[in-house]
């Protein structure tokens, strides 16, 4: 207590990664951590810096959370600018609803990404007042953009490129090792392989 700092255990959470994957679900087999003699609550998922991190390192919860946020942004934009021309709405969609925050960290093999893409395509159809069965291949042409999943892949490649050629040698090593040696055992390796297979690279 040299600096008279008091830590509050109720504001901290504990995640033990690999909990379900390795079958360590019995509480008495897991360690309990304390702050100032108060036990820290153990949780299976918790938001951190805008992302939802789970003890299984699965992206499903985070993807669905971002999808719900996207739907809210699109609906808000459509309501606020309901009388604006469709071409202007497309620009507003790109400006205010296309941040896709955190998509660079997703596993591109995760099928839940399709639900996120579907929500974005639904917003594009709503702008042009198209029926729900309008083929998705026409939407990028109407909106002067690339398909939303391709955009996610493009952002991943840009992110990984910055990591590989950034200033941190540690980050460079981790990314290069994941791609060159980790392959399917590494998210970096899996995503790079996915982009190569679908022809993004």
pLDDT, tens digit (0-9, with 9 covering 90-100), for 45-74? 999 888 899 988 899 999 999 999 999 999
Q: Model confidence at 23, in pLDDT bands (50, 70, 90)? A: very low
Pairing assessment for the beta strands 51-54 and 38-39 based on DSSP bridges = unpaired
pLDDT at 24 over 70: no
Higher-confidence position of 11 and 81? 81
Q: How many of the other CB atoms lie within 10 Å of CB of 30? A: 13
Q: What is the pLDDT of residue 72?
A: 96
- Is the pLDDT at 84 greater than 70? The verdict is yes
Q: Name the band, by pLDDT with cuts 50, 70 and 90, for residue 22.
A: very low
Whether residue 21 has pLDDT greater than 90:
no
Task: Please spell the DSSP secondary structure of the chain, one letter per residue.
Answer: -TT-----GGG-EE--TTTTTTT---GGGS---EETTEEPEE-SEEEETTEEEETT--SHHHHHHHHHHHHHHHHHHHHHTTTS-HHHHHHHHHHHS---TTGGGS-TT-TTHHHHHHHHHHHHHHHHT--TTS-GGGHHHHHTS--HHHHHHHHHHHHHHHHHTSS-HHHHHHHHHIIIIIGGGSHHHHHHHHHHHHT--
Q: Phi-psi bin for 49: left (phi > 0), alpha (psi -120 to 50), beta?
A: left
pLDDT confidence of residue 191: 94
The pTM assigned to this predicted structure is: 0.84
Q: How confident is the model at residue 28 (pLDDT cuts 50, 70, 90)?
A: low
Q: What is the mean pLDDT of the chain?
A: 89
pLDDT value of position 2: 72
In contact, 46 and 15? CB cutoff 8 Å: yes
């Amino acid at each position: 207590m040299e600096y008279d700092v008091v830590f509050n255990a109720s504001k901290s959470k504990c995640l033990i990664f690999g909990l379900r994957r390795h079958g360590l679900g019995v509480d008495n087999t897991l360690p309990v951590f304390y702050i100032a003699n108060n036990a820290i609550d153990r949780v299976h998922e918790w938001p951190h810096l805008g992302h939802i991190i789970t003890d299984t390192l699965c992206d499903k919860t985070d993807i669905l959370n971002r999808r719900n946020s996207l739907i809210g942004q699109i609906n808000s934009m459509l309501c606020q600018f309901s009388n604006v021309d469709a071409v202007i709405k497309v620009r507003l969609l790109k400006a205010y609803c296309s941040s896709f925050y955190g998509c660079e960290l997703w596993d591109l093999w995760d099928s839940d990404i399709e639900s996120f893409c579907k929500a974005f395509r639904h917003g594009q159809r709503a702008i042009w007042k198209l029926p729900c069965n309008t083929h998705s291949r026409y939407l990028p042409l109407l909106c002067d953009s690339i398909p939303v999943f391709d955009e996610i892949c493009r952002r991943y490649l840009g992110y990984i490129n910055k990591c590989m050629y950034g200033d941190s040698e540690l980050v460079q090593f981790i990314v290069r090792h994941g791609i060159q040696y980790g392959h399917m055992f590494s998210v970096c390796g899996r995503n790079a392989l996915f982009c190569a297979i679908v022809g993004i690279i």
